[in-house]
Every structure is written in C-alpha cells, then in structure tokens.
Amino acid sequence: MSRILKIAFTGDRGVGKTTLAKDVAKALGISTVVVDVGEVDGLSEDLKTCYCMANYISLWLSGSSFVCDRWFSDNLMYAPAPLVRALKYLLRESQRDVYQFYVPPFRGEETAYGKAVRKLVRYVVGGVTREERVRSVLAKLKWLEVRRSGIMVERFLDSIGCITEESKRRFLARLAEKYRTQIKIAAKLGFDVKPVRALLFKYGIKLPGSNFSHSWLGKAYLKLGKDEVKRQVLECLCTSSSAKEATQKLAQKFNISESTAKRLLRHFKVIPGFGYQVLPPEDLGVRLE
C-alpha cells in the first residue's frame, strides 16, 4: 500500500498488542513502530501518559505512516485531571485519520476496561493465532482502501454523462430536491453517506430544511479560499495571549459566534487543554467531514 497509514492498537494488558503492531508494520513495510512507554523505568504513570501522548500527537500531525501499540484510550485511566479534556478531544479527532483496532484476549474474558475501550474503537481484530490476527488487520485495511470513496462518486457521475462541474451540480441538486436527505441520496447512488456528503458540500448543494450549503466554514472557503482562511486563523493565534482572546478574535474576524469560533479552531487541530498550540500552516489539518 502506497498511501499513508496511521494505525493504533488498543485492548487489555497482555493481549499481544506490541507483537501484533510489529508484525503488521513488517507486513506493510512501515518502519516507524511506537511501543508502550509503560516499560520506561523511573517515570510515574502521569509522566508516562504525557510522554506517550506527546509522541502520538507528533506522529498524528506528521505526514508519515506509523504503527502504535497504544491509543489515547489506553491513557484515560492514568491521565491527570487537567489533561482529561484534551485527551477526550484527541480521542475524537484522531478517529478521523488513524485506524484504531481493538485486540481481544487470546483466551478468557475481557475485563471491564477492555469492554469499555471496545465501544470506542471502530475495528476489532479477528483470529485466534498470531498469523490470523495479522491477516485480519491486513484484510480490513485492504477493504478500507478499495471501498467506494468520494473520488469514485465523481467517476460514477462522469460515467453517466455529468462531466462538467455545472452538470454535476445540476444532477446533485435534482437528487437533493427529490430525496431531501443525505442518506437517501447516498442510497440512490449506491455509495456511503460520507463521500456523498463531501460532494454535496463541494458543489454547494442545499438540502431542504438544512443550512448545509451555508455552513460557516463553507462560506469562508468560498469567499476567501482555503489558504487565506488558514492564514487568518494562524494570524489570530499568533497575536493572541490566551484561548479566550483567540476565540474572540476569530469570532470578530469571521462574523461568527464564539461557540462557532471554537469549532473553527477544532477544524485546524488546535488542541484545548494544552493551551492553543500555534501550528505552522503546512500542519493545519482542515476537516470538512
């Protein structure tokens, strides 16, 4: 696989997360493998948590592939209170581009902790042997690679004669008027909701009874362009001495409420709880989903 892969495993202690992480990395040709920092001597649990989170954040923001035998959920039970809010935020945000796999025990029953973590993770590793587990992960990644995506939706529209952007916009507008919801439009096209939603956003299609095409971020992109929005957000962060000041400046600059300004910061991976981190423009990860 040539694309960037960010993979993390979680589960109970002693279920083979580290072994599986190394096996999967070897099978995929990924050189960066991050292992549990719990084995580092001389560190308290709080410091181990902070150390692991710092490594994970650096990798998550990077443009390289990695396999990690921990996920943020593994740190919830050790995190000091001031970091819990940031940790929960990172749990939610990292789900967008990190493939998380829950590793069940080889034998015996899951602990209460394992059951709780399993609810947070999208994919579960199958198999009862080491080799079967590796094949299970590789099969899931292969499915994720070939499943229908936004690009395939675009190609489908090309195949039915909607070649130009205007013809695609008219076609999607007719579907929106007839079917009225993203789920029904996706079902009609035979695709998942997520790529269809992205196309509706891209072509500015307003669904009846929604403000979909009038999104605060969408309007800013259409009016200023993505690069200019990034530049203005970074400028607000660089000239602010506190989170509150940054939020107020963004609200004033984009003519939005302060609660919406906080959402805008989340789109740019500005992490609450750590202070508002000033990230270089190339690291600002805008999320449209």
Half-sphere exposure of 154 toward its Cβ, with a 13 Å CA cutoff?
10
Q: Which of 68, 45, 89 is nearest to 273 (CA)?
A: 89
Q: pTM surpassing 0.85?
A: no
pLDDT category of residue 252 using cuts at 50, 70 and 90: confident
In this structure, which amino acid lies at residue 247?
T
**Higher pLDDT, residue 12 or 206:** 12
In this structure, which amino acid lies at residue 85?
R
DSSP 119: T
CA distance 75 to 95: 15
Q: Output the CA–CA distances (angstroms, integers) from residue 284 to 78, 157, 159, in the order listed.
A: 29, 31, 35
pLDDT at 47 over 50: yes
pLDDT of residue 160: 81
Edge-to-edge strands of the sheet including 99-102?
33-34, 66-68, 6-10, 99-102, 123-124
**Higher pLDDT, residue 71 or 187:** 187
3-state SS class at 135: helix
pLDDT of residue 222: 66
Contact between 217 and 267 under an 8 Å Cβ cutoff? The reply is yes
**Higher pLDDT, residue 258 or 42:** 258
Q: Average pLDDT of the chain?
A: 73
- Give the tens place of pLDDT for each residue, 106-163: 877 888 877 877 877 778 898 888 999 999 999 888 877 666 556 677 777 888 888 8
User: Could you tell me which residues are beta bridge partners of residue 288?
Assistant: none
pLDDT of residue 267: 66
- Residue spans of the domains in the chain: they are 6-146, 150-214, 216-283
Name 243's Cβ contacts closer than 8 Å, sequence gap at least 6.
272, 275, 276
6-146 topology per CATH? Rossmann fold (3.40.50)
